[in-house]
Structure 1
Amino acid sequence: MTELTIQASLLEALESEQYDRVSKLLTTLHPSEIADLLESLPARSREILWGLIEPGQEGNVLSHAQDAVRTGLLELMQPEQVADATIGLATDDAADILQDLPDEVIDSVLLSMDAQNRARVSAILSYPEDTAGGLMNIDVVSVRADVPLDVVCRYLRQLGKLPEHTDSLMVVDRQSQYMGTLPLSSVLTMKPDVTVGEIMQTGMAILATTPDHEVARIFAQRDLISAAVVDEQDKLLGRITVDDVVDVIQDSAEQAVMNMAGLGEDDMFAPVLFSARRRAIWLAINLLTAFLASWVIGRFENTIEQLVALAVLMPIVASMGGNAGIQTLTIAVRGLALGQLSKANAPSLLLKEFAVGALNGVIWACVVALIAVIWFGKIALGIVIGVAMIVNLLTAAVAGAVIPMLLKKAGVDPAIASGVLLTAVTDVVGFMTFLGLATIFLMP
């Protein structure tokens, strides 16, 4: 059976209350697939399915679940159950789970752990979740630079097992200060009497306080599989592996899409009142901008009454400006997110987008003006809408580049607020320019 077939069979069995069959099918799925299933179910069905998962699988499923869903599942568990679920998990995954709990519950879970696990998880919890320290895993194999490779091989055999995704050993001095990395391939292929210091790579280390999006950028630029994490004194704290960075990139992409709609992070089947409250804020802001655009239109009520064609053509001016602005806005927001847009190159982007807006404005102004002349038989009307479109597309290009930069400078996420503000600007400028020009040149 394929993965999709298994999931379909499981959902069918769950709906028909064949819980023994559900339990059997769950054993054939990967924890990440079970997490996806949980996210796709309403609250009641989710609770039932969660109760059928083997206790030994709970930790792995929680580590793959969306934060909002994971929080809901953790509320169904006692602190001792959460502590048991984290047994066997990578330290960073265990810390991710605990970070979704209230502080008093975290303390209870930590007290339920053995001393070793409590110390390891506490070390990660001391850093914010969205930093390198919050991402790192403290399960690290380290060696000193003056040790020969044959000693390293004996040490690895003595350990018996390496942490997951280990491609290199960390090289440190006697004070645990980071010096570089020793690729496992070198351990296997170089002569046994060669010392670690002779062949180690002096790769960069990531400061524990580095934001997670900057960590993702570093991994992407340098094609890293793992990287050391250090404190301000270059003392080795742990390592970040590419699987954690993939999660950061995926979460950032999902969050960007949700933010564009003003949703934030939301569970698909969150309670109605909770979802409605979160969405109401941006709906209210959007309503205010819509009233602003309506007020502008109302200022030209007499003009519209006498020239009905204006009411027909108004949406074209606003729509073209909005679409052009979104194109520039997307480029600017992406550039800010990737660290590619800054004060140094912002004027160049602004100039380029202004030129693009001017070119597109002239081309589409001519097209729309020609259609308006053919449709309504008035050359003056075609000229007015053509000029209004050029003005609005130029405004959209400038606003699409400037708004995200101003929001970031003000400490507001550009992905959340840019779209609403841009729409307000293009609607107001589009309507005011079109109706204002019509009032001046078309009214008798």
Structure 2
Amino acid sequence: MVEQDTQQHLQTVTDSLESGGTMQIKYLLNGALPAQDVARLLESSPPKERRLLWDLIEQKNEGEILQYLSEDISVQFLKEMDTEQLVAVTEQLESDDLADILQNLPETVVAEVLASMTAQDRSRVESLLSYPEDSAGGLMNTDTITVRPNITIDIAFRFLRRHASLPDMTDSLLVVSRSDRFLGTLPLTKLLVADPDASVREIMETETTVIEADAPASEVAQLFEKMDLVSAPVIDEASGKLLGRITIDDVVDVIRDEAEHSMLSMAGLDDDEDTFAPIMQTSKRRAVWLGINLITAFIASYVIGLFQNTIDQVVALAILMPIVASMGGIAGSQVLTLVIRGIALGHIGAANTRWLLNREIVVGFLNGILWAIVVGALTAYWFDNIEIAYIIAGALIINLLFAALVGTLLPITLKRLGIDPALAGNVILTTVTDVVGFLSFLGLATIFLI
């Protein structure tokens, strides 16, 4: 439904641009559509139209829209602004959203923007910028409501009434000591029904899920999913001081970004790849990945070249070679995807790796036997040669076993080496299954036919 609405709005904008009318577009971009939809509309537009649309957006709305744009596109617009414009655009943003935007700008520009802020706001943003973007500290929002444990519920209510509005996603108040050490939470559901004369200490919850500021964003997402959290406090590991909180809307962004990362990395594309990026920019990015794949293709071709005499004498081998390599590639990709998902979810560790490996080898062997029989029978019928049928059947079993072995161990090994399995796994796996497939098929043919 969201995609359909975006396409309808995009068609409306396109028609208005072609007819030269901008009033309807201005109306859509500056109030009729939520900021998220405007961002989606910009991302769905080619560069020239995107530039025209951005120029029609009022400055007061630019900051809110920027936070929903992909990094690639938001940086394009931010780099065109001077410091005064950046300050005006970002002054209404929450600290965590502002920090996300500033992390994409040169240090000199960031320093100028920070210098224009109040001391309190600058301190908040600087604390966020001190943490990596993909950590709990980088995700958190410093806008929190804290109370002391010794005050009464009645005083807590008076304190809340003085706030014009509560921060988004507030489901509890955070209880801290005088030194800002985190002590527990006071859920709003308990606050509403508690005795006004009772103290916060009496009804607060001390068994609370807390997140250390250095925790990876992926672990934060898993924790929210496991504990069904709406928000969670972030603390400094050493001092136990409250630093901020993470809310479910930020975690949803993490989950979405990780899904996009896994999908795009397998094709060698950047997480923030712009669908409508300029030709030269897109060409440069893809050229690197194509070059890497070309190297692996030459490796496979070299293995084939070793058996040129065998292929010259038995032409059927050239026809059947792709079958062995393709079957191994698909089988390995199935295992690789399953294991990468297991690693991402935290399901795979040292305790269960051996069991998983044994299972995949058995599955690979059983599938190898099944398809070896099928392919062998078809080969014998096609070429009327039982020897080639036995050879391709044996090669299939060998390659599917190797595919299971490599598909299981490769992502685990890459993860331990600090390399992203989603980015490097497919290239290595494809190379291994191609080389093993060609080597086993042509090697067996050389032994038994020549």
8 A contact 2:9–2:41 mirrored in 1 = no
Match of 2:200 in 1: 196
Match of 2:302 in 1: 295
CA displacement 1:345-378 (0-9 Å, x = unmatched): 2111111111110111111111111111111111
Match of 2:261 in 1: 255
- Choose from 357, 372, 376 the match for 1:369: 376
- Choose from 268, 272, 277 the match for 1:270: 277
8 A contact 2:6–2:40 mirrored in 1 = no
- Choose from 238, 252, 255 the match for 2:244: 238
- Choose from 189, 211, 230 the match for 1:185: 189
Matches of 1:115 and 1:400 in 2, distance apart? 53
8 A contact 2:10–2:44 mirrored in 1 = no
8 A contact 1:205–1:230 mirrored in 2 = yes
Matches of 1:254 and 1:120 in 2, distance apart? 30
Matches of 1:262 and 1:4 in 2, distance apart? 28
Match of 2:84 in 1: 80
8 A contact 1:35–1:61 mirrored in 2 = yes
8 A contact 1:132–1:229 mirrored in 2 = yes
8 A contact 1:79–1:112 mirrored in 2 = no
Secondary structure of the corresponding residue to residue 258 of structure 1:
helix
Aligned-residue offset at 1:171 = 0.8
8 A contact 2:40–2:69 mirrored in 1 = yes
**Is the aligned partner of 1:133 residue 2:137?**
yes
Question: Counterparts of 1:292-441 in structure 2 under 5 Å?
Answer: 292-441=299-448
State TM-score, norm by structure 2.
0.95
Deviates more, 1:107-116 or 1:178-187: 107-116
Matches of 1:322 and 1:354 in 2, distance apart? 15
Match of 2:61 in 1: 57
8 A contact 1:400–1:422 mirrored in 2 = yes
Aligned-residue offset at 1:217 = 1.1
Match of 1:166 in 2: 170
**Structure 1 residues 3 and 294, CA gap change in structure 2 (3 angstroms):** closer
Secondary structure of the corresponding residue to residue 132 of structure 2:
coil
**Is the aligned partner of 1:156 residue 2:160?**
yes
Aligned-residue offset at 1:89 = 1.8
8 A contact 1:321–1:430 mirrored in 2 = yes
What code does the residue aligned with 1:437 have?
L
Secondary structure of the corresponding residue to residue 387 of structure 1:
helix
Aligned-residue offset at 1:440 = 1.2
Runs of at least 5 residues in structure 2 that lack an aligned partner in the other structure: none
- Paired residues in the alignment total 443
**Structure 1 residues 242 and 421, CA gap change in structure 2 (3 angstroms):** same
Match of 2:128 in 1: 124
Question: Counterparts of 1:93-108 in structure 2 under 5 Å?
Answer: 93-108=97-112
**Is the aligned partner of 1:11 residue 2:14?**
yes
Secondary structure of the corresponding residue to residue 67 of structure 2:
helix
8 A contact 2:172–2:186 mirrored in 1 = yes
Aligned-residue offset at 1:68 = 0.7
Deviates more, 1:118-127 or 1:138-147: 118-127
Secondary structure of the corresponding residue to residue 32 of structure 2:
coil
8 A contact 1:137–1:238 mirrored in 2 = yes
What code does the residue aligned with 1:74 have?
L
Aligned-residue offset at 1:3 = 5.8
CA displacement 1:313-353 (0-9 Å, x = unmatched): 11110000000000000011112222222222211111111
Matches of 1:4 and 1:273 in 2, distance apart? 26
Matches of 1:432 and 1:3 in 2, distance apart? 50
What code does the residue aligned with 2:120 have?
Q
Matched-pair identity in %: 50
Match of 2:224 in 1: 219
In angstroms, what is the RMSD of aligned CA positions? Answer: 1.5
Deviates more, 1:200-209 or 1:365-374: 200-209
8 A contact 1:180–1:204 mirrored in 2 = no
Secondary structure of the corresponding residue to residue 64 of structure 1:
coil
CA displacement 1:194-232 (0-9 Å, x = unmatched): 222222122021111111111111111111100001112
What code does the residue aligned with 2:130 have?
S
Aligned-residue offset at 1:286 = 0.9
- Choose from 18, 23, 27 the match for 2:26: 23
8 A contact 2:153–2:198 mirrored in 1 = yes
What code does the residue aligned with 1:149 have?
I
Deviates more, 1:415-424 or 1:398-407: 398-407
State TM-score, norm by structure 1.
0.97
Matches of 2:91 and 2:14 in 1, distance apart? 29
Runs of at least 5 residues in structure 1 that lack an aligned partner in the other structure: none
Match of 1:205 in 2: 210
Aligned-residue offset at 1:181 = 0.8
CA displacement 1:110-159 (0-9 Å, x = unmatched): 12223332222222112111111111111100111222211111110112
CA displacement 1:7-41 (0-9 Å, x = unmatched): 42123213433222210122211111111111122
8 A contact 2:6–2:41 mirrored in 1 = no
Matches of 1:15 and 1:405 in 2, distance apart? 53
CA displacement 1:378-403 (0-9 Å, x = unmatched): 11111111110000000000010111
Matches of 1:252 and 1:193 in 2, distance apart? 47
What code does the residue aligned with 1:125 have?
L
